[in-house]
Amino acid sequence: MQTEKHLLREYLNFLIVERGLSPHTVSAYESDISTFLGFHGRSFQLELIAAHDLEAFVASQRATGLSESSIARRVVAIRNFIAFVSKEQGVLNPLQDFKPPRPSRRLPKALKIEEVEAIIAAAGRGDDLMSIRNTALIEVLYGTGARISEVVSLDVSDITKMSGADVVSLKVRGKGGKDRVIPIGKFAQSAIDQYVVRVRPSLVKKDEKALFLNQRGTRLTRQSMWKIVSDCAQAAHIDHEISPHSLRHSFATHLLDGGADIRTVQELLGHSSVITTQIYTLVTIDKLRENYASAHPRAR
């Protein structure tokens, strides 16, 4: 009988080779499934798994204060793993009828345009190398709506001029190995130019391809990018938590508020389905309601 570690290793290899998932996503799957296997306790036997095991696991996760969206993600990872093992062993999936908890539909927290401008201004207050780099980083995050993992993966060669136009674009590597090209505006272009010309040459180590570098001349990490954004938000005196994903939310919301088509926003964000993008329209509808309530004489 295969051990749970062996089965998990086989499944993770399947995610990498067959489904082409990123190392970050595979690591998240591994963590979620390992948490369940640890909770399950006894040596893993497919025939002993039942729906009530997953129900008990969900209850235990809620007791820790984990968000409903995170719990739902863990349940999906576990169900997919059990389905894989069932198929490999040629047996009935014991969780095929389990209904996962539905996460509450939370509206993304979008920043005000003034808050984004304040964060960018805070990043560029100095004329030192790191200030110039940080300004370029935040301009790219907000100017493209790219995921932090996609910005981390950018190489210098991913900056291109679009054919027949005076528009610079970035090629980003999205989920599932899908590339997409995102045009960037003049502010982000200028910030990247400043960084590439004035800063990167003095940081880069030989043969390093990464666009954004740390002080050691190697690729900036996700953790470092997160800290840069958080520190700049604090310096801008923004009193609620800001992350790189906040800039992605704001990118989508501000585009829709400005009249962009939802299909365009879908393509720019790299969503495989427009349904995923539609949550941002709820923010826009909220704004419409506020404007209606404050402006229409018969609204009050």
Among 73, 79, 109, 271, the active-site one is: 271
How many other C-beta atoms are found inside a 10 Å radius of the C-beta of residue 133? Answer: 24
Does the model's pTM come out above 0.85?
A: no
**Helical (H) or strand (E) element with 160:** strand 159-161
Q: Quick one: pLDDT at residue 232?
A: 95
Measure the CA–CA gap between 213 and 201, rounded to whole angstroms.
Answer: 10
Q: Mark whether 248 is an active-site residue.
A: yes
- Radius of gyration of the chain measured on its C-alpha atoms: 23
How many other C-beta atoms are found inside a 10 Å radius of the C-beta of residue 63? Answer: 8
Strand partners, 134: none
Residues (pLDDT < 50) of the chain are 1
Q: Which two tokens stand for residue 195?
A: 């960084």
Measure the CA–CA gap between 175 and 178, rounded to whole angstroms.
Answer: 6
Please give the backbone phi and psi of residue 180, each rounded to the nearest 5 degrees, phi first. Answer: -145, 155
Q: Mark whether 42 is an active-site residue.
A: no
Q: Mark whether 147 is an active-site residue.
A: yes
Q: Quick one: pLDDT at residue 54?
A: 82
Q: Mark whether 219 is an active-site residue.
A: no
Could you state, in order of their start, the residue ranges of all structural domains in the chain? 4-89, 113-291
The answer to whether the 4-89 and 113-291 domains have the same CATH topology is no
Q: At what angle do helices 51-63 and 68-89 cross, to 10 degrees?
A: 150
Q: Mark whether 271 is an active-site residue.
A: yes
Among 147, 173, 200, 254, the active-site one is: 147
Name the amino acid, one letter, at 74.
R
Domain 113-291 indexed as CATH 1.10.443.10:
yes
Measure the CA–CA gap between 156 and 127, rounded to whole angstroms.
Answer: 22
Helices (H) and strands (E) in the chain, counts: 14, 3
Measure the CA–CA gap between 27 and 34, rounded to whole angstroms.
Answer: 10
Match 């999205």 to its residue by tokens.
Answer: 174
Among 200, 248, 249, 254, the active-site one is: 248
Among 175, 219, 222, 287, the active-site one is: 175
Pick the CATH number of 4-89 from 3.40.640.10, 1.10.150.130, 3.90.1110.10, 1.10.630.10: 1.10.150.130
Q: Quick one: pLDDT at residue 107?
A: 58
For the stretch 86-99, what's the b/e string if a residue is b when 16 or more beta carbons lie within 10 angstroms of its beta carbon?
beeeeeebbbeebe
Match 């900056």 to its residue by tokens.
Answer: 159
